[in-house]
Structure 1
Amino acid sequence: MLGLVVVSLIGMVVDDRALLGESVWLKPAKFGFAFATYGVTLAWLLRLPHRGARVTWWFGTIFAITGVVDVGFIALQAARGTFSHFNTETDSVNSIGQLVFMSGVPGLFLANLVIALIISWQRVADRPTLVALRAGIWTAVVGMALGYLMGFTGAQLVRKADGTVVGLVAGHTVQPGAPVDAARDGVTTMPLTHWSTSGGDLRIPHFVGLHGIQVLLLLAFALAVLARRYHWLHAASTRAALVGVAALTYAGLLTLVLWQALRGQSLIHPDTATATAGAALLAFLAAGVSAVYLRARDDEPVSATVRLPASAAPEPH
């Protein structure tokens, strides 16, 4: 996957073809990076001692092989200057590729689901890491499942890199009231991510969900490092509570961006309801962290060393 990222970056420089206003090689680069990141996380997770390791090894292998096939097709379609997802072209390469997606994507989801069911109920790490792992892996499962919502966004007519019009059975952008078959993806987009700025984009909750496990595990690691400096973080229960607050906040964030996308609202153009919900989420985070800090400070043991006043000191013999 990292090799594909390198190839795709080179492609962006030497190949000026574009799909929906972005380089044909941007999508393979993003998928390669995402799968590399998740693959490293999954590999680390499966190396933790746990019951059912043989089963999780096989499902991890299924996930890896299926990921290579699916992302490989994305790269192939990029090289051909056409779309990988939702493409209705009838040529043999695309027809076979769509069948691969129809079988491969559920395979990725089910493999991850089985691993989550086996791993998340076992104590495979210290308490803060375990909270991050359990919340993160189920957030990733939800993020994968949300990808299926894209299939209900409606058909659209778009252009391939050579200018040929092609029909897509669905897309990523939600625009209530948009004309039938009108192009929605790539009309106006954010830099780099190319998420829509003219409507809701279901790639956002999909992305947020998939990468929750990395965010929470990095937080658990960061708290362990900070515990060497800040005494109130020494207790594992305190760090676990902080990770728990972060996990609930992250779940709220996932819900918020999903709600925003389903209403056809761009991430960077929130309305009053979205802004209010976002402010409430930040208030919950601040209150949760404050409560954990105050409890940890109150629970700190009083030093056993007591300095006696000079009048109470014993007389020398």
Structure 2
Amino acid sequence: MLNANTANSFSKSYSYKLLITPNIANDKVSRLFISCTLFLLGTLVLFFIINAFDTRLLDGMPVWHKPIRFGLSFSLHFITLTLLSQLIADHYRTKYRFAFFAYVAAISLWVEYGYMAIQASRARRSHFNFETEFESLMYAVMGVGALFLVAVTFVLGIMIWRYADKNPSGLRIGAIMGLVLGSVLTLITAGYMSSNVSYIEHRLTNTPNIAPYLGWSRVSGDYKPAHFIATHMMQLLPLIGWWADSTKWGQRLSQKIGARTIVIIATLLLTILTAVLFTLAINDVPLFPL
């Protein structure tokens, strides 16, 4: 058994090396995740430049804001996959089970993000668009792609739980909780939002009454805030675990209640926040009312 000082020292070293001085393995899955990240960062630069000159609006926002928002979110997603997949040994990361989900997620990214860019260039919606047969088909295709983009994080969380070092670090429990619970809550919020006929037909209207850059409605309940928190639990909880392991204030608190306890409390708070935001949306209450 590790004593408290030894455990804290190990956790600090373990977390610091992964997030501050990461040693990314040179295997096919790690290279794939890095390639996706670089692709996203490159297209983001392009989209920011285009956005500076394209003055067209869609649903009250500049047409390129949606690809930019998704590009930022996808970049965080694949950076997270790149870093946290290093917690498991190479032979687990590259074996068929995880590699399959990694490659399908990458294909899903390219299809979904590419279609968003095409629709932005046409000043047309990519999501919740049933105006033509092709756009209805592509919305369904993006739904399947989104499922795989979430599935790869869920599978990685399970693999970290089963195969990563059974150390006492906050990063490890944060990675497991963030990837697994974040994936489940993302599927719940996104699934309900995409299948709610009333939301699609009546609340998603062409209106300028939205929160700038976020695209959240200010006149009716919107499921996007709950979806946002659920999705980014995948980054927030590992970061909180890293904070508990590696920073001065985090280590002081960890010595009192433990890094795992810190992560569990954060998990409960973020889950409650997601539930509150989801309840507001169900009751048609905007998060930032006019």
Say yes or no: TM over 0.5: yes
Residue of structure 2 in register with 1:265 after alignment:
285
The aligned amino acid for 1:52 is Y
**C-alpha deviation, 1:236, in angstroms:** 9.4
State which of 82, 105, 128 in structure 1 corresponds to 2:146.
Answer: 105
SS at 1:195 equivalent: coil
2:54 pairs with 1:15: yes
CA contact (8 A) 1:12 1:26 kept: yes
Residue of structure 1 in register with 2:258 after alignment:
238
Measure, in 2, the Cα distance between the counterparts of 1:4 and 1:266. Answer: 32
The aligned amino acid for 1:48 is L
Residue of structure 1 in register with 2:108 after alignment:
66
State which of 119, 122, 137 in structure 2 corresponds to 1:80.
Answer: 122
Deviating more after overlay: 65-74 vs 49-58: 49-58
The aligned amino acid for 1:109 is V
Cα gap change, 1:182 to 1:222, in 2 (>3 Å): closer
2:73 pairs with 1:52: no
Unaligned runs of 5+ in 1: 156-169, 172-179, 271-317
TM-score by length of 1: 0.69
**C-alpha deviation, 1:88, in angstroms:** 1.8
Residue of structure 2 in register with 1:135 after alignment:
177
2:182 pairs with 1:148: no
2:219 pairs with 1:198: yes
2:64 pairs with 1:25: yes
The aligned amino acid for 1:98 is Y
SS at 1:196 equivalent: coil
**C-alpha deviation, 1:183, in angstroms:** 5.3
CA contact (8 A) 1:205 1:254 kept: yes
The aligned amino acid for 1:254 is T
Measure, in 2, the Cα distance between the counterparts of 1:22 and 1:11. Answer: 14
Measure, in 2, the Cα distance between the counterparts of 1:56 and 1:182. Answer: 38
**C-alpha deviation, 1:84, in angstroms:** 0.6
Q: Decide which structure has greater helix share.
A: 2
Aligned pairs, number: 246
CA contact (8 A) 2:225 2:277 kept: yes
Cα gap change, 1:63 to 1:236, in 2 (>3 Å): farther
TM-score by length of 2: 0.75
Structure with the greater relative contact order (CA < 8 A, sep ≥ 6): 1 or 2? 2
Cα gap change, 1:68 to 1:120, in 2 (>3 Å): farther
2:229 pairs with 1:189: no
Measure, in 2, the Cα distance between the counterparts of 1:120 and 1:260. Answer: 33
The aligned amino acid for 2:220 is G
What is the aligned-residue identity percentage? 25
**C-alpha deviation, 1:154, in angstroms:** 2.6
Residue of structure 2 in register with 1:287 after alignment:
none
The aligned amino acid for 1:56 is F
**C-alpha deviation, 1:90, in angstroms:** 2.5
**C-alpha deviation, 1:9, in angstroms:** 1.4
**C-alpha deviation, 1:78, in angstroms:** 0.5
Cα root mean square deviation, aligned: 2.7
**C-alpha deviation, 1:127, in angstroms:** 2.6
Unaligned runs of 5+ in 2: 1-39
The aligned amino acid for 1:223 is A
State which of 213, 222, 241 in structure 1 corresponds to 2:234.
Answer: 213
**C-alpha deviation, 1:212, in angstroms:** 0.8
The aligned amino acid for 2:223 is L
Cα gap change, 1:185 to 1:261, in 2 (>3 Å): farther
Structure with bigger gyration radius: 1
